[in-house]
């Protein structure tokens, strides 16, 4: 009976797709993503684009929380920093896409370092509360610095322009954002095969022991916050270009909780976790709307309960996953995929 898949050389061990099922699945996924706009409505394309933006943000949170063990409740606010930085650089300084997105990522990454400074002295619940406090400060600035952020009225953006072509339609934005999400996932996957990634994992598992064996705790904790924030900044930039309008209310505490819930349900510290989690938090509300719409003829007031039902279902599912499958949907998928990879010798 086969008991595992092993590698005979370093090149195969370090490859992104080590065996034929993974390679075949990736090719199939790419083909599927290419043909989606030809077989789906504009709204489905918009949802897939939104999922891609969420994936990028949750990958950043996975680096920070899943792999480094630093729980943050300010990730949604950092996405807001990325979105507002993009809009301000475009509106105030007339910078195009090629400059304002990298600058937005840099700005958000630097703010992420400030988020991480308390982690050098505190940990656990106290660190989580400090990130929550930092997110409140960011939202306060976004709401009250009217001359720069537009206050509660928010900001409007112009579409991305690449080689003289503006990306206005849902199809255009889909084909632009999806490849960026894929590259972001592959970068994060490769990160944890490097010394930096192994240091993150060592800090998560036992930071004092990691420090004893020579891991620079200060350096790598701040680096984790910077990387997580950089991903949030990229997600925020793409969020702004996808919606072309941003408001402070979009990036409040509820968004940070949504990202954290997605990570828990999808699977923390796993490459596929952010993907499953993003689909979960975007698609579940849409399915609920469909169910509520189907039941509306029976009770016209039922649509009023959509938002409470969303919260209730999220709560039940998160509790269920934490009790029965703490490693999330990605763990279920991994067991299934191992079965496929070992076929026909699967037990």
Better pLDDT: 315 or 139: 139
Q: Quick check: is 15 in a domain?
A: no
Please tell me the distance from the alpha carbon of residue 341 to that of residue 20, in angstroms, as a whole number.
Answer: 8
Query: Does 340 score more than 70 pLDDT?
Result: yes
Please state the domain count of the chain: 1
Q: Quick check: is 9 in a domain?
A: no
Its domain, for residue 188, covers 40-342
Please tell me the distance from the alpha carbon of residue 117 to that of residue 134, in angstroms, as a whole number.
Answer: 11
pLDDT of residue 297: 75
Q: Are 265 and 318 in contact (CB under 8 A)?
A: yes
Q: Quick check: is 17 in a domain?
A: no
The pLDDT of 232-243, averaged and rounded, is: 97
Q: Quick check: is 116 in a domain?
A: yes
Query: Does 8 score more than 70 pLDDT?
Result: no
pLDDT of residue 299: 73
pLDDT of residue 9: 60
The pLDDT of 318-325, averaged and rounded, is: 86
Q: Quick check: is 148 in a domain?
A: yes
pLDDT of residue 2: 44
Q: Quick check: is 188 in a domain?
A: yes
Q: Quick check: is 11 in a domain?
A: no
Q: Are 78 and 259 in contact (CB under 8 A)?
A: no
CATH number for 169: 1.10.3470
**Spatial CA neighbour of 138 closest among 57, 81, 58:** 81
pLDDT of residue 1: 39
Please tell me the distance from the alpha carbon of residue 345 to that of residue 20, in angstroms, as a whole number.
Answer: 15
Better pLDDT: 335 or 293: 335
Q: Quick check: is 324 in a domain?
A: yes
Query: Does 15 score more than 70 pLDDT?
Result: no
């Amino acid at each position: 009976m086969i008991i595992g898949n092993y590698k005979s050389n370093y090149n195969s061990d370090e490859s992104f797709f080590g065996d034929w099922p993974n390679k075949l699945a990736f090719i199939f996924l790419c083909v599927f993503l290419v043909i989606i706009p030809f077989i789906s409505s504009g709204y489905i394309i918009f949802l897939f684009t939104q999922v891609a933006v969420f994936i990028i943000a949750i990958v950043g949170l996975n680096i920070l929380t899943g792999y480094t063990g630093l729980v943050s409740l300010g990730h949604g606010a950092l996405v807001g920093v990325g979105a507002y930085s993009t809009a301000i650089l475009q509106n105030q300084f007339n910078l195009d896409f090629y400059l304002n997105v990298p600058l937005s990522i840099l700005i958000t990454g630097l703010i992420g370092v400030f988020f991480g400074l308390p982690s050098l002295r505190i940990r656990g619940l106290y660190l989580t509360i400090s990130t929550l406090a930092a997110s409140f400060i960011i939202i306060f600035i976004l709401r009250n610095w009217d001359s720069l952020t537009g206050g509660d009225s928010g900001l409007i953006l112009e579409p991305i322009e690449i080689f003289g072509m503006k990306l206005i339609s849902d199809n255009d934005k889909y084909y632009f954002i999806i490849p960026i999400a894929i590259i972001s996932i592959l970068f994060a996957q490769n990160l944890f095969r490097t010394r930096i990634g192994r240091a993150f994992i060592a800090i998560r598992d036992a930071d004092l022991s990691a420090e004893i064996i020579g891991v620079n705790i200060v350096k790598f904790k701040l680096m984790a916050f910077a990387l997580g924030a950089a991903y949030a900044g990229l997600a925020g930039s793409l969020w702004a270009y996808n919606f072309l309008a941003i408001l402070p209310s979009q990036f409040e505490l509820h968004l940070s909780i949504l990202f954290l819930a997605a990570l828990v349900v999808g699977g923390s510290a796993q490459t596929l976790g952010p993907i499953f989690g993003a689909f979960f938090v975007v698609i579940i509300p849409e399915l609920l709307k469909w169910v509520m719409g189907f039941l509306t003829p029976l009770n016209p007031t039922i649509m009023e309960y959509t938002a409470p039902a969303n919260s209730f279902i999220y709560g039940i599912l998160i509790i269920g996953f934490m009790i029965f499958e703490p490693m999330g949907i990605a763990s279920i998928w991994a067991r299934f995929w191992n079965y496929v990879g070992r076929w026909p010798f699967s037990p």
